[in-house]
Amino acid sequence: MSVRPGEIQPHLQRILLEEARLLAELEGLLERETAILQSEDVAAIQNIGAARHGCVARLTQLDAERADLCRMLSFGSGAPALQRLFAWADLDGSVQRQWQSNLQLARRCKQLNDRNGAIVTVKLSRVQQRLGQLRGSPPPAVYGPKAARYGAPGARHLGRA
């Protein structure tokens, strides 16, 4: 007995609709994370981070389910396999439309995540500068991969008790 495309399309739709729901949830979490990072509320930062990681873990599970489906149906692995699966199982174009919508949501999530990462990088830089000032040593002239200065501040004798 062979599997027919009509039997697989509902399964793909379920995966993609759940992925869309999770991506929308992640987008909201990342937007809230931006506000929380600016507020410097440590407990809220930890909570939103845990929620974000949980959402990403569920998205990773869906990706694995989609990859398993490709392999199970002998389409192989990776993006080309997924495109072959869609071409075979997408009888009315709805799977491909949902996939494109999910890709747009994922791009927005990446932009938000990059913005939040930049906020964290600036805050970390400020903390390192302050530590360097407390220790009495400027940061070394070392640059990271994004041309940002970084380095470990040196130690300074602050006196005796």
pTM of the model: 0.78
What is d(CA 35, CA 101) in angstroms, rounded to the nearest whole number?
A: 26
Continuous H helices in the chain: 5-39, 42-72, 79-89, 94-135
Token pair for 137: 């040593």
Q: What pLDDT does residue 126 have?
A: 82
Q: Name the CA radius of gyration of the chain, rounded.
A: 23
- Half-sphere exposure (CA, 13 Å, Cβ side) for 159? 2
Q: What pLDDT does residue 153 have?
A: 47
pLDDT in tens, 13-58: 999 999 999 999 999 999 999 999 988 788 998 899 999 999 999 9
What is d(CA 76, CA 83) in angstroms, rounded to the nearest whole number?
A: 11
Q: What pLDDT does residue 67 have?
A: 95
What is d(CA 80, CA 83) in angstroms, rounded to the nearest whole number?
A: 5
Q: What pLDDT does residue 57 have?
A: 97
Q: What pLDDT does residue 81 have?
A: 95
Whose tokens are 């200065």? That residue is 149
For residue 11, give the 3-state DSSP assignment. helix
Which portions of the chain are predicted below pLDDT 70? 1, 138-161
**Residue 35: Cβ within 10 Å count:** 11
